[in-house]
Protein backbone atom coordinates (compact mmCIF):
# COMPACT_ATOMS: atom_id res chain seq x y z
CA UNK A 1 0.00 0.00 0.00
CA UNK A 2 3.09 2.21 -0.23
CA UNK A 3 2.60 3.82 3.18
CA UNK A 4 5.08 6.56 3.99
CA UNK A 5 6.00 9.22 6.49
CA UNK A 6 5.86 13.04 6.38
CA UNK A 7 8.71 14.62 8.32
CA UNK A 8 7.88 16.97 11.24
CA UNK A 9 9.33 19.96 9.36
CA UNK A 10 7.24 22.84 8.18
CA UNK A 11 9.02 23.07 4.82
CA UNK A 12 10.68 19.69 4.29
CA UNK A 13 8.63 18.68 1.24
CA UNK A 14 8.47 22.23 -0.07
CA UNK A 15 12.26 22.54 -0.12
CA UNK A 16 12.77 19.09 -1.64
CA UNK A 17 10.35 19.70 -4.51
CA UNK A 18 11.55 23.24 -5.20
CA UNK A 19 15.08 21.91 -5.70
CA UNK A 20 13.59 19.70 -8.43
CA UNK A 21 12.14 22.70 -10.24
CA UNK A 22 8.50 22.56 -9.13
CA UNK A 23 7.04 26.05 -8.55
CA UNK A 24 5.05 26.97 -5.44
CA UNK A 25 1.85 27.62 -7.41
CA UNK A 26 1.90 24.09 -8.85
CA UNK A 27 2.54 22.49 -5.44
CA UNK A 28 -0.29 24.53 -3.93
CA UNK A 29 -2.64 23.53 -6.77
CA UNK A 30 -1.73 19.89 -6.07
CA UNK A 31 -2.65 20.31 -2.40
CA UNK A 32 0.85 19.54 -1.12
CA UNK A 33 1.58 22.95 0.42
CA UNK A 34 -0.55 25.68 2.00
CA UNK A 35 -0.22 29.46 1.71
CA UNK A 36 0.52 31.17 5.01
CA UNK A 37 -2.40 33.17 6.41
CA UNK A 38 -0.05 35.86 7.68
CA UNK A 39 2.88 37.08 5.68
CA UNK A 40 4.08 35.44 2.51
CA UNK A 41 5.26 31.99 1.60
CA UNK A 42 3.98 28.45 2.06
CA UNK A 43 4.36 25.48 4.40
CA UNK A 44 3.88 21.72 4.04
CA UNK A 45 0.31 20.50 4.40
CA UNK A 46 1.40 17.14 5.87
CA UNK A 47 3.86 17.04 8.77
CA UNK A 48 4.75 14.20 11.16
CA UNK A 49 2.07 11.93 9.75
CA UNK A 50 1.73 8.41 8.46
CA UNK A 51 1.02 8.99 4.78
CA UNK A 52 -1.46 6.98 2.71
CA UNK A 53 -1.32 7.52 -1.07
CA UNK A 54 -4.66 7.64 -2.87
CA UNK A 55 -4.66 6.21 -6.40
CA UNK A 56 -7.06 6.42 -9.29
CA UNK A 57 -8.21 3.20 -10.94
CA UNK A 58 -5.18 3.25 -13.22
CA UNK A 59 -2.77 3.27 -10.27
CA UNK A 60 -1.66 6.92 -10.50
CA UNK A 61 -1.37 8.82 -7.20
CA UNK A 62 -3.92 11.66 -7.14
CA UNK A 63 -3.93 12.62 -3.45
CA UNK A 64 -2.94 11.65 0.08
CA UNK A 65 -4.38 10.91 3.48
CA UNK A 66 -2.32 11.65 6.56
CA UNK A 67 -2.76 10.01 9.99
CA UNK A 68 -1.44 12.00 12.95
CA UNK A 69 1.29 10.29 14.98
CA UNK A 70 2.30 10.73 18.64
CA UNK A 71 4.77 13.59 19.26
CA UNK A 72 8.24 12.82 17.95
CA UNK A 73 10.81 12.00 20.61
CA UNK A 74 13.40 14.63 19.82
CA UNK A 75 13.01 18.22 20.98
CA UNK A 76 13.82 19.44 17.47
CA UNK A 77 11.06 17.33 15.96
CA UNK A 78 8.55 18.54 18.56
CA UNK A 79 9.53 22.15 17.86
CA UNK A 80 9.09 21.62 14.14
CA UNK A 81 5.62 20.18 14.62
CA UNK A 82 4.68 23.09 16.89
CA UNK A 83 5.78 25.61 14.25
CA UNK A 84 3.85 23.79 11.56
CA UNK A 85 0.44 25.26 12.34
CA UNK A 86 -2.79 24.51 14.14
CA UNK A 87 -3.70 21.30 12.29
CA UNK A 88 -1.10 19.07 13.95
CA UNK A 89 -3.76 17.74 16.33
CA UNK A 90 -6.20 16.76 13.54
CA UNK A 91 -6.26 12.96 13.52
CA UNK A 92 -6.82 12.57 9.78
CA UNK A 93 -5.79 15.19 7.28
CA UNK A 94 -6.59 14.64 3.60
CA UNK A 95 -5.64 16.28 0.34
CA UNK A 96 -8.05 18.99 -0.75
CA UNK A 97 -9.96 18.53 -3.97
CA UNK A 98 -7.82 19.45 -6.95
CA UNK A 99 -8.01 19.30 -10.73
CA UNK A 100 -7.07 15.60 -10.61
CA UNK A 101 -8.62 14.56 -7.29
CA UNK A 102 -12.29 14.64 -6.36
CA UNK A 103 -13.02 12.45 -3.39
CA UNK A 104 -16.52 11.62 -4.62
CA UNK A 105 -15.20 9.99 -7.80
CA UNK A 106 -12.40 7.81 -6.41
CA UNK A 107 -12.41 4.74 -4.16
CA UNK A 108 -9.38 3.93 -2.06
CA UNK A 109 -7.71 0.70 -3.16
CA UNK A 110 -9.85 0.07 -6.25
CA UNK A 111 -6.73 -0.22 -8.40
CA UNK A 112 -5.57 -3.08 -6.15
CA UNK A 113 -8.99 -4.70 -5.70
CA UNK A 114 -10.41 -4.49 -9.23
CA UNK A 115 -9.34 -7.96 -10.36
CA UNK A 116 -10.60 -9.66 -7.19
CA UNK A 117 -13.88 -7.75 -7.33
CA UNK A 118 -14.44 -8.88 -10.91
CA UNK A 119 -13.55 -12.48 -10.11
CA UNK A 120 -15.86 -12.60 -7.07
CA UNK A 121 -18.53 -10.41 -8.70
CA UNK A 122 -18.73 -8.67 -5.32
CA UNK A 123 -17.17 -5.61 -3.73
CA UNK A 124 -16.93 -4.73 -0.04
CA UNK A 125 -17.01 -1.02 0.81
CA UNK A 126 -15.65 0.19 4.16
CA UNK A 127 -15.32 3.67 5.61
CA UNK A 128 -11.59 4.15 6.06
CA UNK A 129 -8.17 3.48 4.60
CA UNK A 130 -7.03 1.25 7.43
CA UNK A 131 -10.22 -0.83 7.38
CA UNK A 132 -9.52 -1.56 3.71
CA UNK A 133 -5.85 -2.35 4.39
CA UNK A 134 -6.82 -4.67 7.28
CA UNK A 135 -9.28 -6.57 5.08
CA UNK A 136 -6.67 -7.04 2.36
CA UNK A 137 -4.18 -8.28 4.96
CA UNK A 138 -6.69 -10.98 6.01
CA UNK A 139 -7.39 -12.14 2.45
CA UNK A 140 -10.43 -9.99 1.65
CA UNK A 141 -8.78 -8.42 -1.37
CA UNK A 142 -12.08 -7.23 -2.86
CA UNK A 143 -12.38 -4.39 -0.32
CA UNK A 144 -12.28 -0.66 -1.10
CA UNK A 145 -12.93 2.42 1.02
CA UNK A 146 -14.74 5.70 0.61
CA UNK A 147 -12.75 8.89 1.09
CA UNK A 148 -14.49 10.70 3.90
CA UNK A 149 -17.89 10.97 2.24
CA UNK A 150 -20.97 8.83 1.86
CA UNK A 151 -20.81 6.58 -1.19
CA UNK A 152 -21.67 8.74 -4.20
CA UNK A 153 -23.59 7.83 -7.33
CA UNK A 154 -20.39 8.18 -9.38
CA UNK A 155 -18.58 5.75 -7.09
CA UNK A 156 -21.53 3.35 -7.24
CA UNK A 157 -21.50 3.35 -11.05
CA UNK A 158 -17.76 2.80 -10.98
CA UNK A 159 -18.22 -0.30 -8.82
CA UNK A 160 -20.94 -1.49 -11.18
CA UNK A 161 -18.33 -1.91 -13.91
CA UNK A 162 -16.67 -4.65 -11.86
CA UNK A 163 -19.45 -6.41 -9.93
CA UNK A 164 -23.21 -6.75 -9.54
CA UNK A 165 -23.19 -7.10 -5.74
CA UNK A 166 -21.87 -4.45 -3.35
CA UNK A 167 -21.66 -5.03 0.41
CA UNK A 168 -21.51 -1.91 2.59
CA UNK A 169 -19.69 -2.39 5.89
CA UNK A 170 -20.55 0.33 8.40
CA UNK A 171 -19.65 1.02 11.98
CA UNK A 172 -22.42 -0.47 14.13
CA UNK A 173 -22.94 2.72 16.13
CA UNK A 174 -25.73 5.24 15.62
CA UNK A 175 -23.71 7.46 13.23
CA UNK A 176 -22.76 4.39 11.21
CA UNK A 177 -26.37 3.30 10.88
CA UNK A 178 -27.37 6.85 10.00
CA UNK A 179 -24.72 6.92 7.27
CA UNK A 180 -26.06 3.68 5.81
CA UNK A 181 -29.57 5.05 5.61
CA UNK A 182 -28.44 8.33 4.10
CA UNK A 183 -26.64 6.32 1.44
CA UNK A 184 -29.77 4.59 0.22
CA UNK A 185 -31.58 7.53 -1.31
CA UNK A 186 -29.22 7.91 -4.26
CA UNK A 187 -28.10 4.26 -4.46
CA UNK A 188 -31.58 2.79 -4.75
CA UNK A 189 -31.72 3.48 -8.49
CA UNK A 190 -28.19 2.31 -9.29
CA UNK A 191 -29.13 -1.15 -10.50
CA UNK A 192 -26.90 -3.28 -8.27
CA UNK A 193 -27.55 -5.80 -5.51
CA UNK A 194 -26.89 -3.60 -2.48
CA UNK A 195 -26.25 -5.27 0.87
CA UNK A 196 -25.17 -4.12 4.33
CA UNK A 197 -23.30 -5.61 7.28
CA UNK A 198 -23.30 -4.19 10.81
CA UNK A 199 -20.74 -6.20 12.76
CA UNK A 200 -21.95 -7.71 16.02
CA UNK A 201 -20.62 -6.51 19.34
CA UNK A 202 -19.98 -2.95 18.24
CA UNK A 203 -16.61 -3.94 16.76
CA UNK A 204 -14.88 -2.31 13.85
CA UNK A 205 -13.48 -4.61 11.12
CA UNK A 206 -9.98 -4.75 12.64
CA UNK A 207 -11.23 -5.64 16.13
CA UNK A 208 -13.76 -8.13 14.73
CA UNK A 209 -11.11 -9.95 12.70
CA UNK A 210 -8.73 -10.11 15.66
CA UNK A 211 -11.48 -11.35 17.99
CA UNK A 212 -13.43 -13.74 15.77
CA UNK A 213 -11.12 -14.50 12.86
CA UNK A 214 -11.41 -14.39 9.08
CA UNK A 215 -13.86 -17.30 8.86
CA UNK A 216 -16.43 -15.56 11.07
CA UNK A 217 -15.90 -12.33 9.14
CA UNK A 218 -16.52 -14.12 5.83
CA UNK A 219 -19.72 -15.60 7.28
CA UNK A 220 -20.87 -12.12 8.29
CA UNK A 221 -20.32 -10.88 4.75
CA UNK A 222 -22.30 -13.80 3.32
CA UNK A 223 -25.19 -13.02 5.70
CA UNK A 224 -25.34 -9.38 4.62
CA UNK A 225 -28.85 -7.90 4.67
CA UNK A 226 -30.52 -6.39 1.63
CA UNK A 227 -29.96 -2.63 1.92
CA UNK A 228 -33.51 -1.66 0.94
CA UNK A 229 -34.95 -4.10 3.47
CA UNK A 230 -32.61 -2.65 6.09
CA UNK A 231 -33.85 0.84 5.34
CA UNK A 232 -37.52 -0.16 5.25
CA UNK A 233 -37.18 -2.01 8.55
CA UNK A 234 -35.69 1.11 10.08
CA UNK A 235 -38.68 3.20 8.99
CA UNK A 236 -41.17 1.07 10.94
CA UNK A 237 -38.91 0.10 13.83
CA UNK A 238 -40.67 0.75 17.13
CA UNK A 239 -44.11 1.14 15.58
CA UNK A 240 -47.04 -1.07 16.56
CA UNK A 241 -48.33 -2.16 13.16
CA UNK A 242 -51.47 -3.54 14.80
CA UNK A 243 -52.46 0.00 15.77
CA UNK A 244 -54.26 1.74 12.84
CA UNK A 245 -52.71 5.16 13.53
CA UNK A 246 -49.16 3.84 13.84
CA UNK A 247 -49.64 1.55 10.85
CA UNK A 248 -50.71 4.55 8.73
CA UNK A 249 -47.64 6.46 9.92
CA UNK A 250 -45.46 3.49 9.03
CA UNK A 251 -47.11 3.14 5.63
CA UNK A 252 -46.36 6.79 4.82
CA UNK A 253 -42.71 6.28 5.75
CA UNK A 254 -42.46 3.14 3.62
CA UNK A 255 -44.16 4.72 0.64
CA UNK A 256 -41.68 7.60 0.79
CA UNK A 257 -38.87 5.09 0.17
CA UNK A 258 -40.68 2.83 -2.29
CA UNK A 259 -41.80 5.80 -4.36
CA UNK A 260 -38.20 6.73 -5.16
CA UNK A 261 -37.57 3.40 -6.93
CA UNK A 262 -37.67 3.85 -10.70
CA UNK A 263 -37.47 0.19 -11.70
CA UNK A 264 -41.12 -0.99 -11.65
CA UNK A 265 -40.27 -4.68 -11.27
CA UNK A 266 -38.00 -4.09 -8.27
CA UNK A 267 -40.51 -1.66 -6.81
CA UNK A 268 -43.36 -4.16 -7.05
CA UNK A 269 -41.20 -6.90 -5.51
CA UNK A 270 -40.41 -4.76 -2.47
CA UNK A 271 -44.05 -3.72 -2.15
CA UNK A 272 -45.06 -7.38 -1.93
CA UNK A 273 -42.40 -8.05 0.72
CA UNK A 274 -43.49 -5.03 2.76
CA UNK A 275 -47.12 -6.13 2.54
CA UNK A 276 -46.24 -9.57 3.93
CA UNK A 277 -44.25 -8.10 6.82
CA UNK A 278 -46.60 -5.32 7.86
CA UNK A 279 -50.07 -6.58 7.05
CA UNK A 280 -50.72 -3.61 4.78
CA UNK A 281 -52.28 -4.82 1.55
CA UNK A 282 -50.11 -4.62 -1.52
CA UNK A 283 -52.97 -2.88 -3.34
CA UNK A 284 -52.99 -0.06 -0.79
CA UNK A 285 -49.23 0.29 -1.06
CA UNK A 286 -49.32 0.27 -4.86
CA UNK A 287 -51.95 3.02 -4.92
CA UNK A 288 -50.06 5.11 -2.35
CA UNK A 289 -46.79 4.73 -4.24
CA UNK A 290 -48.48 5.72 -7.51
CA UNK A 291 -49.84 8.89 -5.88
CA UNK A 292 -46.46 9.70 -4.36
CA UNK A 293 -44.65 9.25 -7.68
CA UNK A 294 -47.28 11.34 -9.43
CA UNK A 295 -46.71 14.21 -7.01
CA UNK A 296 -42.95 13.90 -7.43
CA UNK A 297 -43.34 13.92 -11.21
CA UNK A 298 -45.37 17.14 -11.10
CA UNK A 299 -42.78 18.79 -8.85
CA UNK A 300 -39.93 17.86 -11.14
CA UNK A 301 -40.97 16.92 -14.64
CA UNK A 302 -38.86 14.08 -16.04
CA UNK A 303 -36.08 14.10 -13.45
CA UNK A 304 -32.82 12.53 -14.45
CA UNK A 305 -32.54 9.02 -13.07
CA UNK A 306 -29.58 8.63 -10.71
CA UNK A 307 -28.99 5.24 -12.28
CA UNK A 308 -29.04 6.44 -15.87
CA UNK A 309 -25.84 5.74 -17.74
CA UNK A 310 -23.52 8.67 -18.34
CA UNK A 311 -23.37 10.18 -21.84
CA UNK A 312 -20.84 8.18 -23.88
CA UNK A 313 -17.62 10.13 -24.46
CA UNK A 314 -16.95 11.59 -27.89
CA UNK A 315 -13.98 10.45 -29.94
CA UNK A 316 -12.23 13.73 -29.12
CA UNK A 317 -12.79 13.22 -25.39
CA UNK A 318 -11.44 9.68 -25.60
CA UNK A 319 -8.25 10.75 -27.36
CA UNK A 320 -7.65 13.64 -24.97
CA UNK A 321 -8.27 11.33 -22.01
CA UNK A 322 -5.73 8.81 -23.30
CA UNK A 323 -3.20 11.53 -24.04
CA UNK A 324 -3.56 12.95 -20.52
CA UNK A 325 -3.37 9.66 -18.67
CA UNK A 326 -1.01 7.61 -20.87
CA UNK A 327 1.98 9.81 -21.87
CA UNK A 328 3.50 7.11 -24.08
CA UNK A 329 0.60 7.60 -26.52
CA UNK A 330 0.93 11.38 -26.83
CA UNK A 331 3.37 11.33 -29.74
CA UNK A 332 1.13 9.11 -31.88
CA UNK A 333 -1.98 11.14 -31.08
CA UNK A 334 -0.23 14.48 -31.65
CA UNK A 335 1.19 13.27 -34.98
CA UNK A 336 -2.17 12.01 -36.24
CA UNK A 337 -4.44 14.83 -35.09
CA UNK A 338 -3.90 18.53 -35.72
CA UNK A 339 -5.34 20.92 -33.10
CA UNK A 340 -7.49 22.68 -35.70
CA UNK A 341 -9.27 19.37 -36.34
CA UNK A 342 -10.46 19.20 -32.72
CA UNK A 343 -13.88 20.81 -33.01
CA UNK A 344 -14.64 21.28 -29.30
CA UNK A 345 -12.88 24.58 -28.39
CA UNK A 346 -12.12 23.63 -24.77
CA UNK A 347 -10.80 20.21 -25.78
CA UNK A 348 -8.72 21.93 -28.47
CA UNK A 349 -7.13 24.10 -25.77
CA UNK A 350 -6.41 21.08 -23.54
CA UNK A 351 -5.04 19.15 -26.53
CA UNK A 352 -2.64 21.98 -27.39
CA UNK A 353 -1.54 22.66 -23.80
CA UNK A 354 -1.14 19.13 -22.48
CA UNK A 355 -0.72 16.72 -25.39
CA UNK A 356 0.79 18.45 -28.39
CA UNK A 357 3.05 20.74 -26.31
CA UNK A 358 4.42 17.95 -24.15
CA UNK A 359 4.39 14.76 -26.18
CA UNK A 360 7.28 12.40 -25.73
CA UNK A 361 8.48 12.70 -29.31
CA UNK A 362 8.86 16.49 -29.37
CA UNK A 363 12.42 17.65 -30.07
CA UNK A 364 14.13 19.13 -27.04
CA UNK A 365 13.40 22.84 -26.73
CA UNK A 366 10.98 22.88 -29.66
CA UNK A 367 7.82 22.89 -27.59
CA UNK A 368 6.72 24.86 -24.56
CA UNK A 369 6.13 22.86 -21.39
CA UNK A 370 2.47 22.49 -20.40
CA UNK A 371 1.41 25.39 -18.21
CA UNK A 372 0.29 24.76 -14.59
CA UNK A 373 -3.46 24.08 -14.44
CA UNK A 374 -3.95 27.01 -12.05
CA UNK A 375 -3.03 29.41 -14.90
CA UNK A 376 -5.68 28.07 -17.26
CA UNK A 377 -9.18 29.60 -17.55
CA UNK A 378 -11.74 28.15 -15.08
CA UNK A 379 -13.82 26.45 -17.79
CA UNK A 380 -10.70 24.66 -19.07
CA UNK A 381 -9.73 23.62 -15.52
CA UNK A 382 -13.21 22.13 -14.96
CA UNK A 383 -13.16 20.17 -18.22
CA UNK A 384 -9.61 19.00 -17.53
CA UNK A 385 -10.60 17.82 -14.05
CA UNK A 386 -13.55 15.83 -15.40
CA UNK A 387 -11.35 14.17 -18.03
CA UNK A 388 -8.67 13.25 -15.51
CA UNK A 389 -11.28 11.79 -13.16
CA UNK A 390 -13.11 9.83 -15.86
CA UNK A 391 -13.32 6.08 -15.36
CA UNK A 392 -11.14 4.51 -18.10
CA UNK A 393 -13.65 1.69 -18.59
CA UNK A 394 -16.11 4.27 -19.89
CA UNK A 395 -13.46 5.40 -22.36
CA UNK A 396 -12.31 2.00 -23.50
CA UNK A 397 -15.80 0.59 -23.97
CA UNK A 398 -15.27 -1.95 -21.20
CA UNK A 399 -12.14 -3.38 -22.86
CA UNK A 400 -9.34 -1.87 -20.75
CA UNK A 401 -7.38 -4.21 -18.53
CA UNK A 402 -7.06 -2.94 -14.96
CA UNK A 403 -3.32 -2.83 -15.59
CA UNK A 404 -2.92 -0.49 -18.60
CA UNK A 405 0.76 -1.45 -18.86
CA UNK A 406 -0.20 -5.05 -19.60
CA UNK A 407 -0.54 -6.47 -23.09
CA UNK A 408 -4.35 -6.52 -23.01
CA UNK A 409 -4.50 -2.94 -21.79
CA UNK A 410 -2.08 -1.71 -24.45
CA UNK A 411 -3.99 -3.53 -27.19
CA UNK A 412 -7.25 -1.96 -25.98
CA UNK A 413 -5.60 1.46 -26.01
CA UNK A 414 -4.28 0.90 -29.55
CA UNK A 415 -7.72 -0.13 -30.83
CA UNK A 416 -9.35 2.81 -29.10
CA UNK A 417 -6.87 5.35 -30.49
CA UNK A 418 -7.26 4.00 -34.05
CA UNK A 419 -11.05 3.90 -33.75
CA UNK A 420 -11.21 7.45 -32.41
CA UNK A 421 -8.98 8.82 -35.17
CA UNK A 422 -11.16 7.08 -37.78
CA UNK A 423 -14.33 8.47 -36.20
CA UNK A 424 -12.91 11.98 -36.17
CA UNK A 425 -11.94 11.66 -39.87
CA UNK A 426 -15.43 10.42 -40.75
CA UNK A 427 -17.12 13.16 -38.75
CA UNK A 428 -14.91 15.83 -40.33
CA UNK A 429 -15.59 14.48 -43.82
CA UNK A 430 -19.33 14.39 -43.12
CA UNK A 431 -19.23 17.99 -41.89
CA UNK A 432 -17.34 19.07 -45.03
CA UNK A 433 -19.86 17.31 -47.28
CA UNK A 434 -22.73 18.96 -45.44
CA UNK A 435 -21.11 22.39 -45.82
CA UNK A 436 -20.54 21.74 -49.53
CA UNK A 437 -24.14 20.66 -50.06
CA UNK A 438 -25.33 23.83 -48.37
CA UNK A 439 -23.06 25.87 -50.64
CA UNK A 440 -24.44 24.08 -53.70
CA UNK A 441 -28.02 24.70 -52.60
CA UNK A 442 -27.23 28.37 -52.06
CA UNK A 443 -25.67 28.60 -55.53
CA UNK A 444 -28.74 26.88 -57.04
CA UNK A 445 -31.08 29.35 -55.31
CA UNK A 446 -29.01 32.30 -56.53
CA UNK A 447 -28.99 30.98 -60.10
CA UNK A 448 -25.20 30.81 -60.24
CA UNK A 449 -24.45 27.79 -62.46
CA UNK A 450 -20.75 28.70 -62.73
CA UNK A 451 -20.36 28.42 -58.94
CA UNK A 452 -22.22 25.09 -58.97
CA UNK A 453 -19.89 23.73 -61.67
CA UNK A 454 -16.81 24.95 -59.79
CA UNK A 455 -17.94 23.26 -56.58
CA UNK A 456 -18.77 20.00 -58.37
CA UNK A 457 -15.42 20.00 -60.17
CA UNK A 458 -13.60 20.42 -56.87
CA UNK A 459 -15.63 17.67 -55.20
CA UNK A 460 -16.53 14.94 -57.75
CA UNK A 461 -17.77 12.60 -55.03
CA UNK A 462 -20.58 15.03 -54.26
CA UNK A 463 -21.51 15.15 -57.95
CA UNK A 464 -21.86 11.37 -58.00
CA UNK A 465 -24.05 11.45 -54.92
CA UNK A 466 -26.30 14.13 -56.45
CA UNK A 467 -26.74 12.01 -59.60
CA UNK A 468 -27.59 8.88 -57.60
CA UNK A 469 -31.41 8.42 -57.42
CA distance from start to end of the chain = 66
Mean pLDDT of the 80-107 span: 72
Query: Using one digit for the tens of pLDDT, what is the confidence trace for 29-67?
Result: 888 888 887 777 888 888 888 899 998 888 888 888 888
pLDDT score recorded for residue 265? 79
Residue 464 burial by Cβ neighbours in a 10 Å radius (0-12, 13-18, 19+): exposed
pLDDT score recorded for residue 84? 44
Model confidence band, residue 244 (pLDDT cutoffs 50, 70, 90): confident
Residue 2 pLDDT greater than 50, yes or no = yes
Mean pLDDT of the 341-365 span: 67
Residue 130 pLDDT greater than 80, yes or no = yes
Residue 370 pLDDT greater than 50, yes or no = no
Above pLDDT 90, what percent of the chain? 9
Model confidence band, residue 338 (pLDDT cutoffs 50, 70, 90): confident
SS3 of residue 289 by DSSP: helix
Cβ contacts of residue 158 below 8 Å, gap of 6+? 57, 105, 107, 110, 391
pLDDT score recorded for residue 459? 59
Considering only CA atoms, which of 298, 290, 294, 306 is closest in space to residue 258? Answer: 290
Residue 367 pLDDT greater than 50, yes or no = no
pLDDT score recorded for residue 144? 94
Does 110 or 265 have the greater pLDDT score?
Answer: 110
Cβ contacts of residue 216 below 8 Å, gap of 6+? 208
Query: Using one digit for the tens of pLDDT, what is the confidence trace for 166-202?
Result: 998 876 665 656 656 666 667 877 888 889 888 877 7
pLDDT averaged over the chain? 75
pLDDT score recorded for residue 461? 53
pLDDT score recorded for residue 401? 43
* H or E element in which residue 290 lies: helix 282-299
* H or E element in which residue 143 lies: strand 143-145
Does 110 or 466 have the greater pLDDT score?
Answer: 110
Gap between the Cα atoms of 258 and 268, Å rounded: 9
Model confidence band, residue 77 (pLDDT cutoffs 50, 70, 90): very low
Contact 337, 326 (CB under 8 A): no
Q: pTM to 2 decimals?
A: 0.61
Amino acid sequence: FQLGYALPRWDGLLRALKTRGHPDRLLEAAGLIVARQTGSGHYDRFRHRLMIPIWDVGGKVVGFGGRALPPALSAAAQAGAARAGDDTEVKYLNSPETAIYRKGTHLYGLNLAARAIRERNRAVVVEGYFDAITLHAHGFDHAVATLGTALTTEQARLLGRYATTVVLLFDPDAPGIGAARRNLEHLINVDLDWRIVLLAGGLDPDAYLRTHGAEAFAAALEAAQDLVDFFLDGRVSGLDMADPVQRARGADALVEVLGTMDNPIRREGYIQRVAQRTGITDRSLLEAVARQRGRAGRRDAAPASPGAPATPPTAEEQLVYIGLNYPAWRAQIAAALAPENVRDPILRRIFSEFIQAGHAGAPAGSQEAPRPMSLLPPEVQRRLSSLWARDPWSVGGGEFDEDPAGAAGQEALRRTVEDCLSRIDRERAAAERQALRQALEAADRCGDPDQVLRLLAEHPSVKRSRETP
